[in-house]
Structure 1
Amino acid sequence: MSVLEENPDSPLKKRPPRWSDIWLKKTKPLKHVVFAMQLQSLASKDPKSQTLIPHFANIDRTLLLSDELLLKILSKLPLSQRNPNSLVCKRWLYLQGRLVRSLKILDWNFLVSGRLITRFPNLAHVDLLNGCLFSPRNSGILLTHRMVSMQMRYGNCSNWELLEENLLPVEVVDGGLQALANGCPNLRRLVVINASELGLLTLAEECLTLQELELHKCNDNVLRGIAACENLQILKLVGNVDGLYCSLVSDVGLTILAQGCKRLVRLELSGCEGSFDGIKAIGQCCLMLEELTICDHRMEDGWLAALSYCENLKTLRLLSCKRIDLDPGPDEYLGFCPSLERLHLQKCQLRSKKSVRALFRVCEAVREVVVLDCWGLDNDMFTFASVCRRVKFLSLEGCSLLTTEGLEATVLSWLDLETLVVVSCKNIKESDISPALATLFCNLKELRWRPDAKSLLSSSLMGTGMGKKGGKFFKRT
Structure 2
Amino acid sequence: MRRGHDLINLILPDELIIEIFRKLDSKSGRDASSLVCRRWLTLERISRDTIRIGASGSPDSLVHLIADRFVNVTNLYIDERLSGSHPFGAERGRNARQSAWLRLRFLAEKYETYCLSDAGLAAVADGFAKLEKLTLIWCSNATSAGLRFVAQKCGSLKSLDLQGCYVGDQGIGAVGECCKQLEALNLRYCEGLTDTGLVELAIGCGKTLKLLGVAACDKITDVSLEAVGSHCRFLETLSLDSEYIRNKGIIAVAKGCPLLKNLNLQCIMVTDEALSAVGSLCVLLESLALYSFQRFSDKSLCAIGNGCKKLKSLLLSDCYFLSDKGLEAVAAGCSELTRLEVNGCHNISTYGLESIGRSCMRLTELALLYCQKVGDQALSEVGKGCKYLQALHLVDCSVIGDDAISSIAIGCKNLKKLHIRRCYEVGSEGIIAVGNNCKYLTDLSIRFCDRVGDEALVAIGNGCPLLQHLNVSGCHQIGDIGITAIARGCPQLTYLDVSVLQNLQDMALAEVGEGCPLLKDIVISHCRDITDVGLAHLVKRCKYLESCHMVYCPGVTTAGVATVISTCTNIKKVLIEKSKVSERTRRRAGSIISYLCVDI
Matched, 1:108 2:59: yes
Contact 2:60 2:117 in 1 (8 A): no
After superposition, the Cα gap between the structure-2 partners of 1:474 and 1:61, relative to the gap in structure 1 and judged at 3 Å, is closer
Cα shift at 1:308: 1.9
Task: State the match for 2:76 in structure 1.
Answer: 126
Cα shift at 1:189: 0.4
Contact 2:353 2:378 in 1 (8 A): no
Distance 2:121 2:189 in 1: 20
Contact 2:306 2:329 in 1 (8 A): yes
Return the match for 1:464 from 422, 432, 436.
436
Aligned residue for 2:238, secondary structure, equals strand
Aligned residue for 1:129, secondary structure, equals strand
Task: State the match for 2:168 in structure 1.
Answer: 219
Task: State the match for 1:207 in structure 2.
Answer: 154
Distance 1:298 1:67 in 2: 55
Task: State the match for 1:312 in structure 2.
Answer: 259
Matched, 1:254 2:195: no
Distance 2:147 2:131 in 1: 13
Aligned residue for 1:339, secondary structure, equals coil
Aligned residue for 1:213, secondary structure, equals strand
After superposition, the Cα gap between the structure-2 partners of 1:397 and 1:90, relative to the gap in structure 1 and judged at 3 Å, is farther
For CA contacts below 8 A with separation 6 or more, give which structure has more relative contact order: 1
Distance 2:215 2:118 in 1: 23
Aligned residue for 1:289, secondary structure, equals coil
After superposition, the Cα gap between the structure-2 partners of 1:357 and 1:249, relative to the gap in structure 1 and judged at 3 Å, is farther
Task: State the match for 2:333 in structure 1.
Answer: 390
Distance 1:328 1:207 in 2: 42
Gaps of 5+ in 1: 1-55, 136-164, 241-246
Aligned residue for 1:185, secondary structure, equals coil
Contact 1:214 1:237 in 2 (8 A): yes
Task: State the match for 2:129 in structure 1.
Answer: 185
Cα shift at 1:357: 4.2
Aligned residue for 1:419, secondary structure, equals coil
Distance 1:362 1:196 in 2: 41
Aligned residue for 1:299, secondary structure, equals coil
Return the match for 2:311 from 361, 365, 368.
368
- Partner amino acid, structure 2, of 1:269: V
Cα shift at 1:289: 0.7
Aligned residue for 2:44, secondary structure, equals helix
Task: State the match for 1:341 in structure 2.
Answer: 285
1:57-456 aligned at under 5 Å gives the runs: 57-65=3-11, 66-79=13-26, 80-106=28-54, 107-111=58-62, 114-130=64-80, 168=115, 173-192=117-136, 193-194=139-140, 195-216=142-163, 217=165, 218-228=167-177, 229-240=179-190, 247-262=191-206, 263-273=208-218, 274-294=220-240, 296-302=241-247, 303-309=249-255, 310-318=257-265, 321=266, 323-326=267-270, 336-345=280-289, 348-353=291-296, 357-358=299-300, 361=303, 364-366=306-308, 367-368=310-311, 370-372=313-315, 374-377=317-320, 380-388=322-330, 389-391=332-334, 392-393=336-337, 394-399=339-344, 401=346, 402-408=348-354, 411=356, 418-419=362-363, 421-425=365-369, 426-427=371-372, 429-433=374-378, 438=381, 442-447=384-389, 451=394, 452=400, 454=402, 455=405
Given the two structures, how large is their TM-score scaled by the length of structure 1?
A: 0.64
Cα shift at 1:265: 1.0
Distance 1:280 1:361 in 2: 22
Distance 2:455 2:304 in 1: 49
Instruction: Show CA shifts across 1:366-407 (max 9, x none).
Output: 3336455722446x4453345545312151254462320343
Identity %: 23
Contact 2:133 2:159 in 1 (8 A): yes
Task: State the match for 1:138 in structure 2.
Answer: none
Given the two structures, how large is their TM-score scaled by the length of structure 2?
A: 0.52
Question: What is the Cα-based RMSD across aligned positions, in Å?
Answer: 4.1
Aligned residue for 1:221, secondary structure, equals helix
Gaps of 5+ in 2: 86-111, 395-399, 406-419, 421-427, 438-453, 464-487, 490-600
Task: State the match for 1:10 in structure 2.
Answer: none
- Partner amino acid, structure 1, of 2:135: V
Aligned residue for 2:213, secondary structure, equals strand
Contact 1:105 1:131 in 2 (8 A): no
- Partner amino acid, structure 2, of 1:128: I
Contact 1:293 1:317 in 2 (8 A): yes
Distance 2:184 2:274 in 1: 33
Distance 2:344 2:364 in 1: 14
Distance 2:284 2:349 in 1: 28
Distance 1:331 1:190 in 2: 33
Aligned residue for 1:336, secondary structure, equals helix
Aligned residue for 1:259, secondary structure, equals helix
- Partner amino acid, structure 2, of 1:118: D
Aligned residue for 1:252, secondary structure, equals helix
After superposition, the Cα gap between the structure-2 partners of 1:219 and 1:176, relative to the gap in structure 1 and judged at 3 Å, is same
Q: How many residues align?
A: 368
1:13-92 aligned at under 5 Å gives the runs: 57-65=3-11, 66-79=13-26, 80-92=28-40
Distance 1:223 1:182 in 2: 19
After superposition, the Cα gap between the structure-2 partners of 1:433 and 1:307, relative to the gap in structure 1 and judged at 3 Å, is same
Distance 1:70 1:82 in 2: 12
Task: State the match for 1:157 in structure 2.
Answer: none
Cα shift at 1:343: 3.2
